[in-house]
Amino acid sequence: MSGGAQAAMLPGGRLHLQHGPIDLILGADGPGRAAALARAARRFETILDELVAELPRLRSPDGPAPHGPVARRMAAAVAPYEVFVTPMAAVAGAVADEILAVLRDGAGLQRAHVSNGGDVALWLAPGETMRAAIAGPAGGRVALRAADGIGGVATSGWRGRSHSLGIADSVTALAASAAEADAAATLIANAVDLPGHTAITRVPASELSPDSDLGGRLVTREVGPLTEAEIAAALASGVRFAETARGGGLIRAALLALGSAQRITGPLPLATEPALAPA
């Protein structure tokens, strides 16, 4: 591969693609698998450069429509929300969606998935199923069917790789695309909160990451002991936001976790069998 992008085959026939901060694991099943993975590797070579070229716009909550296909997916995923959010909230999911679309751009696949740091874009042919691991106090798995119409599973929270305005340990969202799931998980996690609580340590995002799209907004750095009632109140705030998103067709379901407690909104298809595609 050119331009600094790297590709390597992993055990089990999965493909690892890495370029700068983007780190993908691809899986595909069917006679068209080899050709699909080759297409994805070629497409991956230019994605980071395309995003860098539009970073000023993508780090802003408003502005002209972006140009690149991944950037447009990002902007579309956050557009329905009436809270502060920039397209960067959907970057991991949008990259996964783009590579999944390339995987599917040919014949001979039964199913495919792209994991971008745990945010997963997936596709299932009619009659196919896939199981995915999800975050939560005791872990868990979801069993996804082609008929469910779920094309993305994403997780966010203050303990994750991105900054969060809220205190959720994790929020996993299931949606029609990975970009939509990514944006929703980020915003639901922001909504799980106890504003002004003295047990919560917050610092400006710009102090941790000078180029953060969150600027001087306070992000969570530590969550101290909370009572059961406080945990329940924080989760209830997140559930209200999630229910609004679900009512608007932006997500299919979500699992919210804080401490040892969790809440589910929507029909979450929990499974007991081993996961095939870790999310």
Indicate the pLDDT class of residue 95, thresholds 50, 70 and 90. Answer: very high
Instruction: Tell the residue number behind the tokens 């080759």, with chain if given.
Output: 38
142, 153 Cβ separation under 8 angstroms: yes
**Burial group, residue 142, by CB count within 10 angstroms (0-12, 13-18, 19+):** buried
Distance of CA 191 to the CA centre of its chain: 16
The 8-class DSSP code of residue 4 comes to T
Angular region, 63: left φ>0, alpha ψ -120 to 50, beta rest: left
Alpha helices by DSSP H, listed for the chain, are 33-44, 47-53, 55-58, 69-78, 91-104, 178-191, 205-208, 228-247
* DSSP reduced 3-state for 92: helix
Task: Give yes or no for residue 29 having a pLDDT over 90.
Answer: yes
Instruction: Tell the residue number behind the tokens 């026939």, with chain if given.
Output: 13
**Stretch 153-177: mean pLDDT:** 94
Phi, psi for residue 200 in degrees, rounded to 5: -105, 125
Q: What is the predicted pLDDT for the residue at 269?
A: 83
109, 33 Cβ separation under 8 angstroms: yes
170, 161 Cβ separation under 8 angstroms: no
Q: What is the pLDDT of residues 174-222, one digit of tens each?
A: 999 999 999 999 999 999 999 999 999 999 999 999 999 999 999 999 9
10, 81 Cβ separation under 8 angstroms: no
Q: What is the pLDDT of residues 224-266, one digit of tens each?
A: 999 999 999 999 999 999 999 999 999 999 999 999 999 999 9
**Burial group, residue 252, by CB count within 10 angstroms (0-12, 13-18, 19+):** buried
pTM of the model: 0.93
Task: Give yes or no for residue 113 having a pLDDT over 90.
Answer: yes
Task: Give yes or no for residue 119 having a pLDDT over 60.
Answer: yes
Question: Domain ranges in the chain?
Answer: 6-271
Q: What is the predicted pLDDT for the residue at 138?
A: 59
Phi, psi for residue 87 in degrees, rounded to 5: -55, -20
Architecture per CATH, 6-271:
Roll (3.10)
Q: What is the pLDDT of residues 2-28, one digit of tens each?
A: 569 999 999 989 999 999 999 999 999
**Stretch 150-160: mean pLDDT:** 94
Sign of CA dihedral 144, 147, 152, 157: negative
Q: Which of 96-100, 115-119, 136-140, 266-270 has the highest mean pLDDT?
A: 96-100
